[in-house]
Structure formats: structure tokens, C-alpha cells
Structure 1
Amino acid sequence: MKQALSLLILFFSISLCAQTKVSGVVVDNFGIAVPYANVMFPGSTEGTITNEEGRFYLESDNTYTTLNISLLGYTTKEIQLDKKVNYGLEIELTEGEELDEVVLYSGKQPKKGNPAIAILKKIWAKKRQNGVYLFDQYKYDKYEKIEFDFNTIDSAFMNKKLFKGMEFIFDEVDTSNVTGKTYLPIFINESLAEVYGDNKLNEKIEKLKANKNSGFSTNQSIIAYVKDLYAEYNIYNNYIKLFNKSFVSPLSKTGVDVYNYVLSDSAFIDNKWCYNIIYYPRRKNEMTFKGNFWVNDTTFAVKDINMQASKSANVNWVKELYIEQEFEVLNDSVFLLKRDYLLSDFSLRKKEESKGLYGKRTTVYDNYVFNEEKAKSFYTKRIDPYNPVVYDRDSTFWEQNRLEKLNDDEKGVYKMLDTLKTVPKFKRLYDLATILVSGYVEFPKINFDYGPIYSSFGFNEAEGVRLRAGGRTYFGPNDPWRIEGYTAYGFRDQKFKYGISAKWLLDRKNRLIVEAGTRRDIEQLGVSLTSTNDVLGRSFASSAIFTAGSNNTLTDINLTTFGVGYEPVKNLRLRTGLTFRTLKSALPDDFNLDYVDPEAPGGIASQTKQFDIKMELDYTPGRKTIGYGVDRNDVNRNYARLFLLYTSGLKGFLESDFNYEKLQFYYRQPFQLGGLGRAITTVEAGKTFGEVPLGLLSPIPGNQTYFSIFNTFPNLNFYEFVTDTYVSGQLEHNFNGRLLARIPFLKKLNLREIVGIRGVWGEISDENIALSAPAGAILRAPTDKVYYEYSFGIANILKIIRIDFNFRGNYFKIPDARKFSVTGNLEFVF
């Protein structure tokens, strides 16, 4: 009763703030939903369009007593609004004559002679002559607020046992002005920054002035994930990237092929004569929006735009997606972005009544200044990523500097969330969520995390069943030093393994890091051409429970490393390291690493001792990170990577066995190809100078697991090809359902097609073959012709399953060659 009374009070208070609210569904004579009908408050520019299910929601601060619903081919209907809040209306349109007034058209619209497209072409011509692009330099203040809320809150939800002892949180329930649904805030983040740009230098920099968190404020992985979801976009670009998908912008040059456009109205907006253009998708299941925008009649700059993603768009877990941007008129020719609002409704199902989570981002821009030139060094110089003052601004500062004031409900969120974190039951739920996301169990009293829990169990032919326990020091997300370690036990070989690693950040600004570690373990080497010195890293193939064929090519490795890393410029990391390894077969009866050694008993050595000096260059342009400690989280994932590795072996030092040099190159580049989907490609090349045994050569990475692992060859067995010189390339392209969405009986499944091709050429010298001849294995390289594979895959099966069908292209006569394989994965992607 108490909760129901709270809801009544809530709705009463909302009705006092917003003068008119209305929602419902529009249907035809047969009760079939009418999509893209025009819903307007008469005599105003306030309106919306029904979605693909005929549903709409409309809200205004003004008071209206009538509502107009119109669509070409139907008789316009006027509905009387007896109350300020009118929810759940069902409005029936009857077929009738076309009307003289402007209405929204249904069906495909012509491209030739369409005045809306004529206006669109002028927008394309002027898009680089609007906003900040008109000036050589610019500066503005940027205020951003990101909020996450539970939605579709009702009395049944509030009475769940889950919330017993936390009922006070429902005092903060609010109603969305976009969907009309109730919601409960659970996370809020505010930031204030100064942005500087130079169009002549093509440089841009953002200086953070203040940041404030509540809710999951200390969990940087969650914050990084949120920021990755809501990357910045430009409506004038051909594609708007959201959730790692490329939506076709309604202002795109390719928009005429995927949208219908209608010139709907014209009116004065802020004393500027503007045209109103309505747009909606030509086809379902594509990455498109519906909505309308107002554009000026002389500058052809957009004044206001709203975009609502098509419900049939192939995006998982997102039920609604709404974008609204407002531009202010600086003078007769300059329109500047003033406010950007994005709302996404995350839910396991897309049914109207299903509960979910709102993600909302509001960005406000103000205090524009132009043509104040600054030196290039201003944009390129390193900035300390952490200033304690930025994260410790008091309430007075925020009250004076927020570009958009918090409403009463938002002010209450901070207090509510801070109180909630003191409730033991909520803390347990939060800890569980943290474990699932990070993979670590936190023990804050001793500053220790146990995990990662997902590595606790494994299996291979040398160890049999393998159990692992480990952990790390953890005082906070920005620790300047960290120690990690683990121990593991194999029940078949009855041996303990271990690893320990330590890192220390000496200089935060230039990322000067000293690290050292040691490990003794069983490892499947040769699953990556360009390996790093990560002491605790472990390939998936080393513990795969099920494998294609016998996985007996395992190595017993004892590794000790020391290194110093330095980042002289952002995203450019230099590292010098020392490593000492001993390598021997973990299953000598099935696989050995013997080599010719005249000084060994019998002239054969079965263990390799090797001391190496390594120098690395790791360049990741476009990479964004969060945090300033020794370990950081990535904010974005689709950045390029260029990696160079030089290795020099020193024979005799610490009884090292070989003199050699190795040079390796790795390049990874993701591509967003607009409506064609996304691709990822890698190129690798390497050469070893000098004579070395099998353990120090470069096996082409096979994959004997049943999992799809990018940058491996799923039809190659481990050590099937071994090289000292190689060039490899791989390409994988995900069409994001563009092709399958056009097949009638498949499009509702939202499947996504993936194609891949990979190839490698390499060689191995006669000297290296002779050196490792006692190993009993035939060492071969793909020298005569490039070895290649190709694959076809279907992803998004039941939203989480991916299956790839992999075909071998040549070298069929090699013993035990696998011509075909099926691999798969569980993928939780949008």
C-alpha cells in the first residue's frame, strides 16, 4: 500500500511539471498497427511519429486539449484530451481521401522531384561550412552527464524480496520524457571539460576540469564500458557509430537509398525560417532511424533533429535508442551544437512490457570562443592524466559551473546511492556483479583480490585435470604498484606450477614502469607468431578441455623476465627487457625438443637454455584509456596496433645455448565499413638470423580447439608448419546481418554473416632443419606456395552463439591434414 501510494504521489507531482502527456497505439480498421503515423499537438511544432508497432509517446510543457493523428490515405483523426496525462490510448484510423494539409507519407517515396531530397543535397554541400568548421580555431566548454536507470518500475517490481531493506530507493523513481516509462537511477557520472581545436592543424584536445561519480564510482571497468558505449558522433557524417554498429545517418549521402524523405512543414524557429523533413526507413532490419529534423532555409544547417532507431535493427539487448540534438544560432550564418541527448533502453527482450535498463547521456556545449591560435605543442604535449583537484570539486563549484542544472530527482540520486552503498544486502549484490565483470573476488580488508576465477579449471594431456588458484594486490583501481601470482596443480603429472609478477609505476606522466616475474608451467607454445613477455599470460590452447586430435605438443617452460617500459608520447610504448628460459618437452614420448649438441652426452640435448635481450615498440593510435595506475582499462577497442619486436640471444651468458637475432612485425587494423559492416585484419612478418632449434623457431599458429580464435589457422595442427622466415595475413569481415536481413524467412532471426580468409608463406633453412633432426618430427614450411584457409560463419544465433565453417585451401597431402573444421564461440555483443 505504501509503494502504491508513493507511485500515486509520483505521478501527481509529474503531472504538475509536464502539462500534457499522452501515449498509445495507432491501428487501422482491422486492428493492425499503423507505423510512421504523424502525431501532433495542433497549432504547434511539437509532435512525434509512431514506431514500427504503431506506438507513440508525446510530452509537452504546454497544455493541449486535442491531439491530431494523420497519415496519407487515412482520414485525419482529432482526439480530445480530457486530462493532462493520457496513457494507453488506442486510436483507430480509417481509410479515406488524401487531405490538402501536410501529412506524413507511408511507403516508398520518389527520389526524383522530391523537394526533401533537394534540400538534403544542399545540406551535403554546406556540411563543412557549418558550426566549428567555419573557424580556424575554436574553444568551448562541455558538460556531460551519464546516467543508468532501472526502468518499467511498477508495484510488483518494488515488492520483490530482492529489495527488502532497500525500499527507500523507490523515493527516487522518475518518468522518462521520451518513453513515458518509470525508472530508478542507479548510476550517475558528471564531467566538465574545456575543448580546444584547430581546423588548420587538424588537432583537438580535451582538458578535464571536474569529474563526479556516484553509484559504481570506483569500478573503472564499468565506467570504461559506459564511455565506450557512448562514443561521440557527428550527425553530418555518413554513419553514426553506436554499440560498435554503423547506423546510416539521415543526413548521409547514402541516406536516399535507405530512407524515405518527406518535406512536412516550414516555420520560424528562433527567428529563423526552417523546413521540417520527416524520414523513415525504406526497409526493415537495417541500421536506420526514424524521426524528423528542422533545417535553415539559407545556411542549410540543422537546427533540431531527433532520431529513433528502427526496432527491427540488428542490435542485441537494445529495445529503444533515441537521439536528440539542438543547435543554437550564433549569428545569421553560424549554427553551433548546444545540447545532445541520447537514451538507450537495454533489455533481454524487445517486448514493450519487458523491464530493463536505461542508459542516458546528456551533453551540453557552451561558451564558444573562436580564432584564438595556439602552437601545435599545445595540442601534443603530455598532460598528467590525474589531478586530485579535478575529482574533488565541492558542491559549490558544481552549482556554479554546471551548464545544465540538476533537477530535484537527480539531486536526490547522489544521496540515495551513497546511502545504498551502506546497505549490506546491496553491497553483496554489487560484489557479485563486480566478480562477474572483473573475474576477481575482492577482499578489501587485506587489499587482495582472488582470481581470475575463470582460470580455475583446465585440462591438457600432460597435466590431466588442472586446478589453479591465484590473486593480486589491490588497494584501488589506480595502484602505482601491483603484485600478481598463482599456483596450479596437475593431477596426472602430480606437479605444482607457479607464477609471480610485479609491476611498479615510477613516473605517472610518462608511464615509466619497471616489471619482473618468473613462471614454471606447462604451456602450448606456437599459438601466436608474435609473443610478448607476459609472465602470467596463458594461451587458451594450453588448458582446452576438448581438442581436435591429440594435443601432445606441450612445453615445460621455466621463464624469468625483467623489463622497463616508457611512453614518451601518448600511445607509443617503448620497452627493453631481459628473459631467461629453459624449454623442454612436457611429453617426451610423444613430442620432444631435442637438438644436435656436440658438447652434450650422446651429442643430443633435450633442454634449451636461452638468455635474450628484447626491445619492443608498441604503437596504438586512437587508443583511449581510463585510470592512471600501473594497470589501466581501455575505453575503446577498435584502435589500430603496430608492434615491433627485436630479440637478440647471447650464447654463454648464464649458460645460454644460442647466438641469434630475430626481428618481428605485427600490425592489426579494424575497419568500420559503414553499412557493409566491420572488418579486422592483421599482417605479421618475421625473420630469425642464425641457427636455432625447434623451441626457438616460429611455428605457424594452429588451432586444435573447437573455439574460433582470431589470428590462428583452425585447420592447422600445432607445429604442422615451422618457419624461421614468415609473412602472414588474416582478414575477418562481419556484415552485421546486411545480407541475411533481406531473406524473408531469415530476417527475423537477426543472424549475422561472417567471412574470413587467412594465408601464410614461410621457409626454414636446411641448417635449422638439420639442427632439430633428432626431434623425430618433420619440419616443413609453406614455401612452395602460400598456405591459405577460408571460412564462412553465422553469428548471433540466439543472440550469443557463433559458428564458423573453416575450409583448408591447399597442402592436403600432409599426414593428418584437416581439410574442414567447425569452430564456435559464445559472444555477448551488441
Structure 2
Amino acid sequence: MKYILSLFIIFFSITVAAQTKVSGIVVDSEGIEIPYANVMFPNSSEGTITNEEGRFYLESDSTYDILSVTLIGYASEEIKLEKKVNYDLKVVLNEGEELDEVVLYVGKQPKKGNPAIEILKKVWAKKRQNGIYLFDQYKYDKYEKIEFDFNTIDSAFMSKNIFKGMEFIFDQVDTSNVTGKTYLPIFINEAVSEVYGDNKMNEKVERLVGNKNSGFNTNQSVISFVKDLYADYNIYNNYIKLFNKSFVSPLSKTGVDVYNYVLTDSSYVDNKWCYNIVYYPRRKNEMTFKGNFWVNDTTFAVKDINMQVSKSANVNWVKELYIEQEFEVLSDSVFLLKRDYLLSDFSLRKKEESRGLYGKRTTVYNNYEFDKEKPKSFYNKRVDPYNELIYNRDSTFWDQNRLESLNDDEKGVYKMLDTLKTVPKFKRLYDLTTILVSGYVEIPKLNLDFGPIYSSFGYNEAEGIRLRAGGRTYFGPNDPWRLQGYTAYGFKDKKFKYGFSGKWLLDRKNRLIISGGTRRDVEQLGTSLTSSSDVLGRSFASSAIFTAGSNNTLTDLNLTTFGIEYEPVKNLVLKTETNFRTLRSALPEDFNLDYVDPDAPGGISSETKQYDVNVSLDFTPGRKTTGYGVERSNVNSNFARLYLVYTAGLKGFLESDFNYEKLQFYYRQPFQLGGIGRTITTVEAGKTFGEVPLSLLSPIPGNQTYFSIFNTFPNLNFYEFVTDTYVSGQIEHNFNGRLFSKIPFLKKLDLREIVGLRAVWGEISDANIALSAPAGAILRAPTDEVYYEYSFGIANIFKIIRIDFNFRGNYLDIPDARPFSITGNLEFVF
């Protein structure tokens, strides 16, 4: 009975949404699949092309009884459709010439004399003269709907034990109009915005007017992550960025090198005469699309376009990626984006039958206005990041402002998820997922989180086995204040450690925050050049279970801090902080931090007490964040960062030992280099003025772990180089498989090649060397020549493993120098 009911639900849901649906496969006379064949409803502009396996799916709201399948070089076929829904058709195309006047193009298309490319050249010439670029100022309304769906829903899936007690969710099963697969909506977020722009000032601002989602109002991180994943793109640009990768646009000037283009048809589309151009990749494994577009014959503006990423593209976890854009004609010469639809099929495998998760974004644009100038202050004005009214709009607002109505299944999702949250079994599954993602176990009755659970166990030579327990206050993701703390115990040194901190957001609009805390713990210092002010922060090296060589350069740290920060402009943070530190070696028999101190008994001190004041500027243009509380999370990583900090040590205050000044500079810049991959660069420089001991100097960050950690030197031991003046630079480039894809026996593995170069120059004064002479260590700096390393890496091994082979370039005569190392990581990247 359950099987029959399931089939009834699926059959009903796939037949009510559209009038005509067809799917199948196109093959030649020998049964070999034919990719990129044209599948159309005759006398219409509705059609698609077959994928690399020759399969297709097509649906329409209109009723058709004929399906036309064509490909230049083959005789066309017309299939009579007996029903409104016709699945699993098999269409056989026979080779032959149907039209004598048509030049036949088979396989790779010529670049010279190709009429499709001649049309493309005119598109390139006019691309900056279409749409909103024609006007000095513009304004439009924007409606965006983001949806997640489980796909490939069948009776076997519905009958799994995990869904017992939750069977009602399958009432919302529907069918994709792109893939033809059944799916179950599980999340919807709607947003209405007003967008203003000024082409003369190159300014743009988007003001949120309303936001609504299906039962998970606190899940801002999911929404922000998806919005960043599906960042806005322009089909006229040479590259379209999706999933942090650059895909070659079919309208790119470099497209002729990676695409085949065929002019297949011409017809009226919304009373505009247009040409239809089909395009498909010249080679597999490249970041390209396949599809077709209609382009106007006078303005050479695109009227409609669809783009589908080839399955052979080197993208993890994405089985299908489909984009559809529709443009409206404002006048004879102005084409404006009207609707943008994007669908991603996320799956662990790329096999046709594998289940996965659809991520869909639909964006509708309307109510365009032009040449209404606004002052620059309008675009720079700071607004409250959270307006409660915006997130609690009533049904009347949504009925008036939705630019595209919800279908019955989407409406049902709101009700279904509200009901689902009351089911205990679902709540347990949701809580378990939250724990795995956040690392915290929620205790709602106490408004506390226990964790992070991933820091519960560690090991180092000073503490031996280390167990840690901690927690934080948690009323919600946007708490205006937060307290957190931990305690830890080392079984070797038999000592308890602890840390405690608090933050309070005083002004949400300009993010005025006060913070403070204290920590007593064992730490591996010198793992980064630029100082960190996180009172509860802990370097990975401090708890690494396995290390290269002896990791005995640990420090017993007692730190207390208080700070005030302010964000006068978006992504520009000004901060002042005071801190008091006590530092001594955690393993004095192996590594000590002694220094010359005439006032100490015996003239030597093993402990440094230091009070510092610092002022910093942190500028992160392009950074996107989620949340509006005292803590926010970054939702993207492709932003630059400029960090400047001035530190002054004040001798005598709170028994502080040293007067000194330190200036530090840090700059990080990622680059998306079109089709050849992604580069990340960093530059750091710093100088310490005054005489300070080893504990206050700047060690060049070595890496004795077996993990690849960017901005460290994997062939340097901790404290191998120590400086008071330094300049460092690092560059890493990921080719995203561009080279391996050209090697026949490697291209199917989807491996990605990474190269890196790291270099540093530094010096240390004789006075600072003499001050720390009792430490017994030889303090050296890379002064005579720049120290450098280079590396070659292979990433995406089994989709998650990265291995780097690191080579030391010089200073090989230093005792215990490591000329070569292998490091690795688990990376979950697209």
C-alpha cells in the first residue's frame, strides 16, 4: 500500500506542474550516444541540447504533440508525442545532409568563416552599450528566492527508517523542469530588495526591504553561504565566477578557444528577430558550459540564454549546474535582465542515479528607473544591519512584493517545516547536525553551549595528554554579549589551565565592542609573524600529536587583555588594546627564555613580565559576513586584508620589564586569474625598536607539524630564525587541474596542481642577541641571503586530500636543517 501511495504522490506531482514533459536519449545508428543534439518543440523557442551522455529533459507549460531532434551532419527526426508526459524516449539519428545550402559542421567547428562567431564579434563590440550601462544612474526592485531540495525521491528512499514518523514531508514531492528528477523542498528563503547604482561614480547599494524563510529564521549562515556561492555574475564578462572558480563565459572574447559555436536558427522572440547559437566545449575537463542563446539581430543583445556545466568539469560535489537568464526589451535598443535562474545538483557522486541536494536561486528584476541622481553620501550611509520589521513582514507585504508567485509545493514547505520542527526525531537529527557543523553541544535550558568538542583532546611534550572542556553563553547567533571559557589538564605536568573572555556589543550600527579576558596555558609561540590578540586563541602546533623533530619550544603563558574596537566604515575596524603577559619556558631543561637582568638574583631572569598597549587598523574590502551580534562569521574567503598594528611596551607599569616599540604590517590578496586558477599572496613586514629578550622578538614561523599551513615555512623548525626586523612574502597558486586535465591518464582523476614560493629576510641586533645569551640557543636571522622554500602540491585526491612536497632552498648547513618535507590536509572544496 505504501509503495502504491508513493507512486501516486510522485505521479500526481509530476503531471500537474506542466502540460508537456519529455526525456530520453539520442543515439546514432550504431547505438552510440550523441552529445549536444538540438531537442526542440517545433515552431517555438523552447528547447534544450543533449548532455555528454546524449540524454535530455524538456518541459513546457504549453501542450505539444511533436518533438524535433536535429544535429548538423544528421538527418532530423520528428517524434510524435502520444501523451503529455513521455519519459525514456530513444531517438535514433542517421547520418546525412538534409539541406544542401547549409555548410555542415561536425565535431570541432572552424573559427574562420563561422557565421556564429561573426555574430559573437558584434556582441563583444556592443556589450557595454546594453542594459543598465546605458544610463548614468539606475534603480530596480529585486526579488530573490533560494531553495534547497532533496532529489531523486523514490519509494525506496521514502521507506527508509530515518523517515518514520515524518512521512508527511513527502506530500511536497515535485519534479524538476531542468533534470526531470523528483525532489522534495526542504528550505526556502525569500528576500525583497531595492538596488540603486551610479555608473559615473561606480557605486552600488542594495537595501533589504523584506526577508522570510521556512522555519529556520536563525540560519543566517546557510543563507549567506548560498548567496556567496551563487554570487551575482554578468554573462557578458569573460569569466563567470561560481563556487570560487572561474568558468569561461560563452560570450567571452576567449570563448572561441574553448567553445564550438554553431548558428542553428533564427526566429521572432517576443517580437524581436533573433539568431539562435548553440555552443559546447572543445575539450573535456575544462571550466566551460554548454547550451544556446538567442541574440537580437540589430542591438546584438542577448534575449535568452541557458548554460549548463559539463559533467567532466573539475568541480567537486556538483553533478549538475544549470543557468537560465531572460532579458526584457525596454525599448528598441535597451535589453534589461528580467529573470535569472540557477540550479545546482550537489551529490557525492556524479552518476545519473545518485541522490543529492538541489540548490536553486531564482532572481526576478522589475520596476527599473533611470537617471535619478543621488549624492555619494546616499551610497556610503551606514544602516542598521538588522531591522526586526524587515524579518517579520506579514502576508499582505509578500502578496504585493513577490515578483514571482510561489507554486503550491513551495507554499506547502512553510507549513511542512513548521510541523517538522515539532517532531522529536527530526529535532534530534537537526541537533546532531548542528553539533557536527558548529562543534558545540547546545544546552537550551541554561542558554549555554558546551565545546568546541574538536578541542577536547590534544598532546604536546610539556603537558603530555591534554583534556579540555569549555563552553559559552548562547541565547542565539546574534547575541549582543557573549562569555566563554575553558579549563584543561595535562597528565604529564599535572597542571590545570584555564581561559575566560567576554565581549559586549555597545553599538550595533558602528560595531562598538569592548572585550577582555585572561588565560593561563601552555602555548607554542612564534607560529605567526603578525601578533594575535585573541585571548583564547591557541595555535595548532600547541596540540599537534605528531611533529617533525622535537617540539620542546613551548611557553608557559599568563595573559590578560582588555580592548575596544570600532567600525566607522564597513570592513574597517579600528582597535586599541592593552595586555599584560607573563612568559616562561614550559620545558626549561630543553628550552629556556632566560635573559640578562642586573636586578635579578644572579643577574639572570627566567620570566618576562610585560605590559603592552597597541593600536591597530584592520581593513578587509570585499569581506562578507553573517550575523549582527557581537560575533560574526565570514561567509567568503576571497577578500583582501590589510592589517597595521603599533605596539608599545611600558616598563615599570604593573612591574613590566621592558620599554620597546613595534610596527607590523600584513597584506593578503587573493587573485582569480581567469581560466588559469587562483592565487593567494601575502606580504609581511615588521620592526622592533628597543632591546627585548627572545620571548618578545619575532621568530620566523616554522611548521613542525605534518599539516599544510599557509603563511608558515614547513621546512623551518620553531625558533630556527629569530628577528627584530623582517620582510616576508608568500605566494601560492592553484591551477585547478588545468595542467593535469591535458594528461590522458590523469584527467579523469580530477587532480589539481598547486605551486608555492615562500621567502623571508630578517635581522637581529647584537644587543638583542647579547640580552638573550643565557638562553643557550644560537639566535640567528636570515640576513646574509633571503631564506626561501618552494613547493609542489597535488590536491583533490579522492576529492578531499591535499599533499604538498616542500623543498628548502638554502641555509642547508644549519644543524638539524630539514631540506625536504611532506605535509598534507583534508580539504572540502568545490
With structure 2 as the length reference, what TM-score do the two structures score? 0.99
- 2:758 is the counterpart of 1:758: yes
| Paired residues of 1:71 and 1:105 also in contact (CA < 8 A) | no
- Which residue is equivalent to 1:417? 417
- 2:239 is the counterpart of 1:252: no
Indicate the percent of aligned positions where both proteins have the same amino acid. 83
- 2:53 is the counterpart of 1:53: yes
| Paired residues of 1:35 and 1:51 also in contact (CA < 8 A) | yes
The farther-off stretch of 72-81 and 141-150 is: 72-81
Q: Which amino acid aligns with 2:482?
A: R
| Paired residues of 1:37 and 1:104 also in contact (CA < 8 A) | no
For residues 522-541 of structure 1, the aligned pairs below 5 Å read: 522-541=522-541
Q: Which deviations, in whole Å up to 9, do the C-alpha atoms of 1:700-759 show, x marking residues without a partner?
A: 000000000000000000000000000000000000000000100000000000000010
5+ long unaligned stretches in structure 1: none
Q: Which amino acid aligns with 2:600?
A: A
- 2:336 is the counterpart of 1:333: no
Q: Which deviations, in whole Å up to 9, do the C-alpha atoms of 1:159-209 show, x marking residues without a partner?
A: 000000000000001110111100001111000000000000000000000
Structure 2 CA distance, aligned partners of 1:778 and 1:314?
48
| Paired residues of 2:571 and 2:619 also in contact (CA < 8 A) | yes
- Which residue is equivalent to 2:427? 427
- Which residue is equivalent to 1:299? 299
Give the match's secondary structure for 1:427: helix
Q: Using a 3 Å threshold, how does the CA distance of structure 1 residues 97 and 125 change in structure 2: closer, same or farther?
A: closer
Q: Which amino acid aligns with 1:203?
A: E
For residues 305-454 of structure 1, the aligned pairs below 5 Å read: 305-454=305-454
Q: Using a 3 Å threshold, how does the CA distance of structure 1 residues 489 and 611 change in structure 2: closer, same or farther?
A: same
Q: How far is 1:372 from its partner? A: 0.4
Structure 1 CA distance, aligned partners of 2:132 and 2:633?
31
Q: How far is 1:105 from its partner? A: 4.5
Q: Which amino acid aligns with 2:613?
A: I
Q: Using a 3 Å threshold, how does the CA distance of structure 1 residues 45 and 39 change in structure 2: closer, same or farther?
A: same
Q: Using a 3 Å threshold, how does the CA distance of structure 1 residues 273 and 408 change in structure 2: closer, same or farther?
A: same
Q: How far is 1:75 from its partner? A: 2.5
Q: Using a 3 Å threshold, how does the CA distance of structure 1 residues 462 and 9 change in structure 2: closer, same or farther?
A: closer
Equivalences, count? 830
Structure 2 CA distance, aligned partners of 1:101 and 1:14?
42
Structure 2 CA distance, aligned partners of 1:104 and 1:508?
65
- Which residue is equivalent to 1:521? 521
- Which residue is equivalent to 2:818? 818
| Paired residues of 2:575 and 2:617 also in contact (CA < 8 A) | yes
Structure 2 CA distance, aligned partners of 1:538 and 1:785?
32
Q: Which deviations, in whole Å up to 9, do the C-alpha atoms of 1:586-624 show, x marking residues without a partner?
A: 000000000000011110000000000010100000111
| Paired residues of 2:519 and 2:559 also in contact (CA < 8 A) | yes
Q: Using a 3 Å threshold, how does the CA distance of structure 1 residues 103 and 9 change in structure 2: closer, same or farther?
A: farther
- Which residue is equivalent to 1:174? 174
- Which residue is equivalent to 2:474? 474
- Which residue is equivalent to 2:611? 611
The farther-off stretch of 437-446 and 203-212 is: 437-446
- Which residue is equivalent to 2:217? 217
| Paired residues of 1:144 and 1:191 also in contact (CA < 8 A) | yes
For residues 185-204 of structure 1, the aligned pairs below 5 Å read: 185-204=185-204
Q: Using a 3 Å threshold, how does the CA distance of structure 1 residues 101 and 512 change in structure 2: closer, same or farther?
A: farther
Q: How far is 1:565 from its partner? A: 0.2
Structure 2 CA distance, aligned partners of 1:493 and 1:340?
61
Structure 2 CA distance, aligned partners of 1:16 and 1:512?
54
| Paired residues of 1:104 and 1:262 also in contact (CA < 8 A) | no
| Paired residues of 2:10 and 2:182 also in contact (CA < 8 A) | no
- Which residue is equivalent to 2:738? 738
Structure 1 CA distance, aligned partners of 2:391 and 2:345?
29
Structure 2 CA distance, aligned partners of 1:680 and 1:217?
35
Q: Which deviations, in whole Å up to 9, do the C-alpha atoms of 1:499-535 show, x marking residues without a partner?
A: 0110000000110000000000000000000022101
Coordinate RMSD, CA, aligned: 1.2
Q: Which amino acid aligns with 2:721?
A: F
| Paired residues of 1:288 and 1:309 also in contact (CA < 8 A) | yes
Structure 2 CA distance, aligned partners of 1:105 and 1:89?
26
Give the match's secondary structure for 2:45: coil
Q: How far is 1:3 from its partner? A: 5.1
Give the match's secondary structure for 1:610: strand
Structure 2 CA distance, aligned partners of 1:97 and 1:14?
38
Q: Which amino acid aligns with 1:183?
A: Y
The farther-off stretch of 24-33 and 456-465 is: 24-33
**Deviating runs (4+, > 6 A) in structure 1?**
101-104
| Paired residues of 1:575 and 1:616 also in contact (CA < 8 A) | yes
Q: How far is 1:8 from its partner? A: 2.2
| Paired residues of 1:794 and 1:804 also in contact (CA < 8 A) | yes
- Which residue is equivalent to 1:243? 243
Give the match's secondary structure for 1:643: strand
Structure 2 CA distance, aligned partners of 1:18 and 1:252?
34
- 2:659 is the counterpart of 1:659: yes
Q: How far is 1:103 from its partner? A: 10
- Which residue is equivalent to 1:42? 42
Structure 2 CA distance, aligned partners of 1:136 and 1:482?
46
- Which residue is equivalent to 2:143? 143
Structure 2 CA distance, aligned partners of 1:489 and 1:90?
68
Structure 1 CA distance, aligned partners of 2:101 and 2:459?
72
- Which residue is equivalent to 2:828? 828
Give the match's secondary structure for 2:4: helix
Q: Which amino acid aligns with 1:627?
A: G
Q: How far is 1:444 from its partner? A: 1.2
Q: Using a 3 Å threshold, how does the CA distance of structure 1 residues 101 and 185 change in structure 2: closer, same or farther?
A: farther
Give the match's secondary structure for 1:330: strand
For residues 508-657 of structure 1, the aligned pairs below 5 Å read: 508-657=508-657
Q: How far is 1:101 from its partner? A: 8.2
Q: Using a 3 Å threshold, how does the CA distance of structure 1 residues 331 and 812 change in structure 2: closer, same or farther?
A: same
- Which residue is equivalent to 2:226? 226
Structure 2 CA distance, aligned partners of 1:336 and 1:49?
25
5+ long unaligned stretches in structure 2: none
Q: Which deviations, in whole Å up to 9, do the C-alpha atoms of 1:421-441 show, x marking residues without a partner?
A: 110100111111111111111
Structure 1 CA distance, aligned partners of 2:484 and 2:739?
46
| Paired residues of 2:527 and 2:701 also in contact (CA < 8 A) | yes
- Which residue is equivalent to 2:770? 770
Structure 2 CA distance, aligned partners of 1:32 and 1:215?
48
Give the match's secondary structure for 2:331: coil
Q: Which deviations, in whole Å up to 9, do the C-alpha atoms of 1:254-283 show, x marking residues without a partner?
A: 111000111111111111111111100000
- Which residue is equivalent to 2:95? 95
Q: Using a 3 Å threshold, how does the CA distance of structure 1 residues 816 and 468 change in structure 2: closer, same or farther?
A: same
Q: Which deviations, in whole Å up to 9, do the C-alpha atoms of 1:31-73 show, x marking residues without a partner?
A: 2211111111122221111101111001111222222222233
| Paired residues of 2:221 and 2:627 also in contact (CA < 8 A) | no
| Paired residues of 1:736 and 1:753 also in contact (CA < 8 A) | yes
Give the match's secondary structure for 1:205: strand
- Which residue is equivalent to 1:788? 788
| Paired residues of 1:685 and 1:726 also in contact (CA < 8 A) | yes
Structure 2 CA distance, aligned partners of 1:790 and 1:50?
45
Structure 1 CA distance, aligned partners of 2:440 and 2:585?
32
Q: Which amino acid aligns with 1:235?
A: I
Give the match's secondary structure for 1:391: helix
| Paired residues of 1:217 and 1:223 also in contact (CA < 8 A) | no
Give the match's secondary structure for 2:399: helix
| Paired residues of 1:523 and 1:555 also in contact (CA < 8 A) | yes
Give the match's secondary structure for 1:545: coil
Q: Which amino acid aligns with 2:699?
A: P
Structure 2 CA distance, aligned partners of 1:356 and 1:204?
36
Give the match's secondary structure for 1:419: helix
| Paired residues of 1:102 and 1:264 also in contact (CA < 8 A) | no
Structure 2 CA distance, aligned partners of 1:316 and 1:103?
39
- Which residue is equivalent to 2:708? 708
Q: Using a 3 Å threshold, how does the CA distance of structure 1 residues 692 and 91 change in structure 2: closer, same or farther?
A: same
| Paired residues of 2:6 and 2:155 also in contact (CA < 8 A) | no
